[in-house]
Amino acid sequence: MPRYLVIGGVAGGATAAARLRRLDEKADIIIYERGGHVSYANCGLPYYLGDVIRDRNRLFVQTAAGFKNRFNIEARVGAEVISINRGEKSILVKDLAAGEVSAISYDKLVLSPGAEPVKPPIPGIDADGIFTLRNVIDTDRIKKHLVEKKPKKALVVGGGFIGLEMAENLHGLGIGVTVVEMADQVMANLDREMASEVHQQLTSQGVELILKDGVSSFEKSGNEIVTRLSSGREISSGMVILSIGVRPDTKLAKEAGLALGPRGGIAVNEFLQTSDPDIYAVGDAIEFMHPLTKQPVITFLAGPANKQGRIAADNIVGGNTKKYCGSIATAVAKIFSLTVASTGANEKMLKVSGIPYLASITHSASHATYYPGATQMSVKILFSPSDGTLYGAQIAGYDGVDKRIDVFSSVIGRGGSVRDLIEFDHAYAPPYSSAKDPVNIAGFTAENILDGLTRTIHWHEIGGLDPTSAMLIDVRTAGEFKTGTIPGAINIPVDELRSRLGDLPRDKKIVIFCAVGLRGHVAARMMLQSGFDDVRNLAGGYKTYSLAVNNIPGTVGACC
């Protein structure tokens, strides 16, 4: 009877163990989890802290007793694996309550130790009231602080998705929240103009957002923590959530001499086997080749961890038959009423990988605008200039973002192109979509770019235009123009443009923009077909431009 040991009993580990049992009824299967709980919902922790999930028990998908009853799997909680002896194929386990250490042998071992929050050596970082959020123990500590200390202000350090989910949930409890982020944008998975939509959402909800500033020290002052920023600014708050990022928890693997990859994660082959053939590894702790960029990556996401757990179990029981093809890190987050999602590669990743790309930005309605409740979503896609292969997509909106991002993910996952987006055969009735879905519209626009029907210019290129050789034309209505425009632009509404073409210079670069890009495209086509050679349409229109040129878009005067 083989013995399979699993280290880490949450996303990847619990999945691997349950799948192992479904494939091998006879095996001896033991999960070791150093925390107090197995198979809990990390992703639900911010919402429990914000009282959105009120019953703590709802966080526990499966218990140790449940594992025993249903799967005949021993799930040992409070049990930390302290070393792996690969020569003897055994591990040393410490019972954290009793302090006892015991050895146990294995036939196959699965590592799913997850990731640990980054905690840089900032003076005062260990002060009472400063928290990281990784597990139920952290959650209970934060909850206790919220209940007992009733902080009125909270500082969230780091604008990643966990930090922002915490910001929203603390804000929902009536706590004043400040988010400080060292980069010039939150959510590194998004490109700048898409992150700007998140900035606007945060500030419009009353969250103070400080960008391009880092923490230099923390100091306890009574019940408050005084956080000093690099800029010299001081922020006093009743609690601090540190959410600066996570790194793969590779201590055990490293000490056991398993190979690590260039990004610092546990190296695995396509079968999720480590450098030791009897040890498999899954989840946040591993790195693998990104399917598009072919660069090593680590994804800190629950979906890949669960899928990898299943594949590792299949390969352990059935021999190495199932290949892991990598993850394009499809992700979604709720930031107050905004939903932001991304899949595949963003501009930064493509640049670093030296992959040429084109970008298009469209703003489409979530469903038919004549049916009540339609909202606009911003869709950015990145694709190959040579054959239109879709590389990445990012969406920010209020409704239907999750379903669209999954469509993009599916097209990218099978190597599809922007032309597949045009053909995407979607379900349509007015409450759900339009006859042309936002996915189709992204495809139409990208195809126009690819086929040379339209040439785009991006928001960050506008500042570099030379007024002596370029002319900016705002083709929105006079009323829209009055609410704010790009400095230097003249206003010729699209419906008047045809009759005024004779007034416009033919020796200049013409940059056209409208609210979101559609009227701009109509105008650009009109001009190109009327003998104007160098005509560009501003991608995403004035909406994208005005959001992106301001780091904190809540301060922008007008936006269409």
Instruction: Say if strands 456-457 and 535-538 run parallel, antiparallel, or are unpaired.
Output: parallel
CB 377 within 8 A of CB 401: yes
In the complex, the smallest distance separating the C-beta of residue 102 from ligand FAD, rounded to whole angstroms, is 13
In the complex, the smallest distance separating the C-beta of residue 17 from ligand FAD, rounded to whole angstroms, is 11
CA–CA separation, 354 and 369 (whole Å): 40
- Report the chain's C-alpha Rg in angstroms: 26
Between 298 and 361, whose beta carbon lies closer to ligand FAD? Answer: 298
Q: Count of residues for the chain? A: 560
In the block, residue with structure tokens 């996952």: 413
Residue 141: both structure tokens together: 């500590």
Residue 346: both structure tokens together: 């963003």
In the complex, the smallest distance separating the C-beta of residue 168 from ligand FAD, rounded to whole angstroms, is 12
In the complex, the smallest distance separating the C-beta of residue 12 from ligand FAD, rounded to whole angstroms, is 3
Between 326 and 416, whose beta carbon lies closer to ligand FAD? Answer: 326
Element (H, E) at 178: strand 176-181
Between 36 and 554, whose beta carbon lies closer to ligand FAD? Answer: 36
CA 332 to chain centre: 6
Name the residue with the smallest CB distance to ligand FAD. Answer: 283
CB 50 within 8 A of CB 58: no
In the complex, the smallest distance separating the C-beta of residue 532 from ligand FAD, rounded to whole angstroms, is 48
Interface residues toward ligand FAD, by CB under 6 A: 7-8, 10-13, 32-35, 42-43, 45-46, 80-81, 112-114, 133-135, 162, 249, 252, 283-285, 300-303, 305
> Which residues in 51-90 are b (16+ Cβ under 10 Å) and which e?
eebeeeeebbebbbeebeeebebbbbbbbbbebbebeebb
Strand-pairing partners, residue 153, are 176
In the complex, the smallest distance separating the C-beta of residue 335 from ligand FAD, rounded to whole angstroms, is 12
Dihedral (Cα; 164, 170, 176, 178), 10-degree rounding: -20
Which of 43, 514, 559, 560 is catalytic? The answer is 43
Between 32 and 383, whose beta carbon lies closer to ligand FAD? Answer: 32
Residue 76: both structure tokens together: 């040992």
Helices (H) and strands (E) in the chain, counts: 17, 31
Could you confirm whether 43 is annotated as catalytic? yes
Instruction: Report, as residue numbers or ranges, the catalytic residues.
Output: 43
